[in-house]
Amino acid sequence: MEKLTNKTAIVTGAGSGMGKAIAELFAKEGARTVLADINIEALETVVAEIQQVGGKATAVKVNIADEADIEKMIATAVETYGTLDILVNNAGIMDNFKTVAEADDVLWDRVLAVNLTGPFKASRAAIKIMENQEKGGVIINNASVGGLFGTRGGAAYVASKHGLVGLTKNIAATYGRLGKVRCNAIAPGGVNTNITKTITEPSEMGYKAILNAGEGPIGAPEEIAAVALFLASDDSSFVNGTVITADGGWTAG
């Protein structure tokens, strides 16, 4: 039995990495997927791959830091498939491990816009749809172990992911307990994705702090997708406001 049959799911950052793996698994499990990413060429490739194996997928070019793009993304899901049942806020960027003294306003504003403000605005738009549906909906925020500890990223990245965890708990405590929208987060550790290619000029101090935390296992995007499937499905119907750490035990010691 497919776990997401007749569910409509939006996945941001779906052009590669964890977002791609999540979109593919959701489609395999019967979801009607809306794939969002700023890289439309990558998105179209993923959509084609999903459709070739019988899945349902639609691509929409989205800059998650642009509210008009977010509204377009939500509207595409509802207009194409009639409902919006699952939102996965996966899109995110890193910050070259820049410390507080090293991070300028441009870097800070960009990282917060993508990693925190974007998911906030996407969640706000999605909740307005989900709350008016009989079965409500589910929001999954892809955070990071950087949202639980201070040395798994630079100042802007760590602050944004801590904020995303806080946003998750607030949605859960309000719309999850008093409304119809469950909200949970995933905190991945090291995962083999293209995001590491954006680390072009790492801060010496910030990178040293990462090394001091010790090296952890590197997971596969598909392993994070499996966690997202659990949180999106009815298997997790009594799970709300939690953060599932998926880091191979990196932060357990």
C-alpha 10/C-alpha 74 separation (Å) is: 8
C-alpha 34/C-alpha 57 separation (Å) is: 6
C-alpha 54/C-alpha 28 separation (Å) is: 8
What angle in degrees, to the nearest 10, is found between the helix axes of 118-130 and 155-171? 20
What are the backbone angles phi and psi of residue 6, rounded to the nearest 5°? 65, 15
Indicate which residue of 81, 157, 175, 207 is catalytic.
157
**Token pair of 16, please?**
């590669």
Annotated catalytic, 81?
no
Angle subtended at Cα 118 by Cα 59 and Cα 243, rounded to the nearest 5 degrees? 100
Q: Which of 52, 55, 54, 72 is nearest to 63 (CA)?
A: 72
Tell me which residue has tokens 């101090």: 205
**Token pair of 14, please?**
């779906």
**Is the CB of residue 18 less than 8 Å from the CB of residue 221?**
yes
Angle subtended at Cα 107 by Cα 103 and Cα 110, rounded to the nearest 5 degrees? 150
Residues recognised as catalytic: 157
